[in-house]
Amino acid sequence: MRQRVAIARTLILRPRIILMDEPFGALDPATRMLMQDNLVSLWRELEATIFLVTHSIEEAVYLGDRIFILSSSPGTILREMPVPAPDRPAKEMQREESFQDIVFEIRDTIEKLEASDRAGDD
| Model confidence at 120: pLDDT above 70 | no
Whether 70 and 78 have beta carbons less than 8 Å apart is answered as yes
Q: How confident is the model at residue 119 (pLDDT cuts 50, 70, 90)?
A: low
What three-state secondary structure class fits 78?
Answer: strand
pTM value surpassing 0.75: yes
| Model confidence at 42: pLDDT above 70 | yes
Most confident of 70-74, 104-108, 109-113: 104-108
All domains of the chain, ordered by start, with CATH?
Answer: 2-120 (3.40.50.300)
